[in-house]
Structure 1
């Protein structure tokens, strides 16, 4: 039996009428009382009456977009494309209000924002980018998304793995637009190996994130396919930013000065790698080849232009916006994988003699 309004009232030590007033937001309630009620709702994982909540979500103008870091161009491109699509909605319900929530990569904050969006009965929620690999968080996230979906909120996962497995005959509760991170990383490292590089350093992303795991797996698969040893000294993990790329490159060269190529977690980290190499008097690509990932807007204008893996960020955001507003049918099985494309530019070349 599910949690009832009376259960919430008992936990918060108020009347059922007071709980109803807090959840509806139409009546003044003391802040201390409101806080107790909302805390009880969260602790008991109470979901407002299904049909009524679904009707409220269907008529809502609010759509939440969760990103790891709004300052990161990766998330900025996706969120901007989603918001543009919402602003141009001319179908049922018209234009929607997008609220961008930056989690800072915190799994706890991600769950908190989802709870707040559920309380606001958001019409849709779009979760973007990497997810935590922690099993307990994955279960909590799946349960939270299931409650949102059950209450009538459309859930779209954009650039992250699918949440949960509904089984071969069940309808997918969420729509997932996944990036082929593993395939893209495998293409990139295979290209470098094909040029003749065997001493390849890897600036991986932060530990415990799905995108990091997928890209690292692709890199290692390419090394194995070309008979290159996966020396753990040639991999350093860090954040997806320029400073981490710089520090990681310094550490990689400390461990092995004979590296002829470095692949970075993303284009921003690759800029840090390039700066570290230049500070050591090394030329790109004559001494060390450098490659990034994502094809962020500045990658073509870097000096030299970055070899990278293009992910269709704009397309993904646009499709996510259409799915969030119900103006595009979900893909078969609720999952579509968007292809990664290798872009060869001037930052890579055959290894020096």
Structure 2
């Protein structure tokens, strides 16, 4: 016998009206309550009334773009490129409305915006930036995305790992080779002769942080199996802001363990690293080499110009627009991995000789 909406409500400990609101997405529901309802739906195998779901499946020309921080150049470039590419001519498309949703990297905000977009029957959704790797959030996100895709919403995950959704659903993934980029950057520093390499990583529990740190560590291990352990005390987790890089570098200097190079989680963090080193009287790259990640526009204008890893943000925005509008079919497996590129500039050089200025 089919599971009823009332049984889902009883299982979740909420009213039938609350279950209905979660299913339809038209009204806000507290994050914890929504999670209980979605877990009950999954555990009981509830299937909504077919004709009612078919009616709700009618989608609009609204496309939602979820970003962590619209003021961050990484997300600004990605969202801008996406919006420009929504029309085949690249001149904008009056038939589609792109709405940028700023989540500030908060998992509950991500789910809340998706609920609002589902309530508006959005024709497409693009989720950008690293994914929060927390089991309960991942389960809730997968359930929400699956339901939206089942109703006809095209979904593109951009810059994050794929979700475990049925292959038949219109959910595509555009990934960056963060692991490979971080590997090549660390390999560059090792080739220059650096062995005491500090690493200012991004926030823990984020897919981007994990991938970039793993690539960095893999290069150290390949060069010398003992290097990862030797450099572990020089690894600091911080945010993706300039102030985070500044504070992390001050902490590294306070610890007193010597280092000749700093690899930063991104270019913005690298700017903070450079500022803290300058205040400490250290020259770049004569005393300490500094490298970033992303190749944001300002990186060529720093003094010295910043060695970094280019992430193809504009290309990703164009591809996401093509996928979410159906102008381009997803490849087999529905995953596209875009390559990253090492950009060697003046901020990295061989380490100072022993006995020279520290």
CA distance in 2, matches of 1:12, 1:110: 24
TM-score norm. by structure 2 comes to 0.84
Change (3 A) 1:60 1:351: same
CA apart distance, 1:40: 9.1
CA apart distance, 1:251: 1.1
Of 171-180 and 194-203, deviating more is 171-180
Moved over 3 A (4+): 1-8, 11-14, 39-59, 87-90, 170-173
Structure 2 unaligned blocks of 5 or more: 42-46, 354-358
Structural RMSD (CA): 3.2
Q: Deviations over 1:183-237 (max 9, x none)?
A: 1101100110011000000000011111001101111111111115223210011
* Residue number in structure 1 paired with 2:150: 150
Given that 1:260 and 1:351 are in contact with CA atoms closer than 8 Å, whether structure 2 keeps it comes out as: yes
1:284 is aligned to 2:284? yes
**Selected match of 2:213 from 204, 211, 216:** 216
1:203 is aligned to 2:200? yes
* Residue number in structure 2 paired with 1:30: none
* Residue number in structure 2 paired with 1:103: 103
* Residue number in structure 2 paired with 1:229: 227
CA distance in 1, matches of 2:68, 2:61: 23
Given that 1:172 and 1:334 are in contact with CA atoms closer than 8 Å, whether structure 2 keeps it comes out as: no
Tell me the secondary structure at the aligned position of residue 297 of structure 2.
coil
Change (3 A) 1:172 1:223: farther
CA distance in 1, matches of 2:238, 2:25: 44
CA distance in 2, matches of 1:108, 1:299: 33
* Residue number in structure 2 paired with 1:177: 174
1:128 is aligned to 2:125? no
Given that 1:12 and 1:40 are in contact with CA atoms closer than 8 Å, whether structure 2 keeps it comes out as: no
Give matches, 1:185-200, under 5 Å: 185-200=182-197
1:269 is aligned to 2:266? no
CA distance in 2, matches of 1:88, 1:95: 12
Given that 1:171 and 1:333 are in contact with CA atoms closer than 8 Å, whether structure 2 keeps it comes out as: no
CA distance in 2, matches of 1:340, 1:267: 14
CA distance in 1, matches of 2:206, 2:8: 37
CA distance in 2, matches of 1:140, 1:41: 8
CA apart distance, 1:331: 1.5
CA apart distance, 1:254: 2.1
Given that 2:183 and 2:215 are in contact with CA atoms closer than 8 Å, whether structure 1 keeps it comes out as: yes
Q: Deviations over 1:290-315 (max 9, x none)?
A: 00000111111111111000010000
CA apart distance, 1:255: 2.2
TM-score norm. by structure 1 comes to 0.85
Tell me the secondary structure at the aligned position of residue 157 of structure 1.
strand
Change (3 A) 1:2 1:100: farther
Change (3 A) 1:334 1:35: closer
Change (3 A) 1:99 1:218: same
* Residue number in structure 2 paired with 1:260: 260
CA distance in 2, matches of 1:58, 1:88: 23
CA distance in 1, matches of 2:341, 2:8: 53
CA apart distance, 1:95: 2.8
CA apart distance, 1:86: 1.9
* Residue number in structure 2 paired with 1:72: 72
Structure 1 unaligned blocks of 5 or more: 26-33
* Residue number in structure 2 paired with 1:31: none
CA distance in 1, matches of 2:16, 2:140: 26
* Residue number in structure 2 paired with 1:304: 304
Q: Deviations over 1:18-47 (max 9, x none)?
A: x89xx698xxxxxxxx779xx998864588
1:116 is aligned to 2:116? yes
Change (3 A) 1:50 1:222: farther
Change (3 A) 1:43 1:258: closer
CA distance in 2, matches of 1:252, 1:145: 41
Q: Deviations over 1:55-84 (max 9, x none)?
A: 765651100000111111111111111111
Change (3 A) 1:57 1:313: farther
Change (3 A) 1:315 1:35: closer
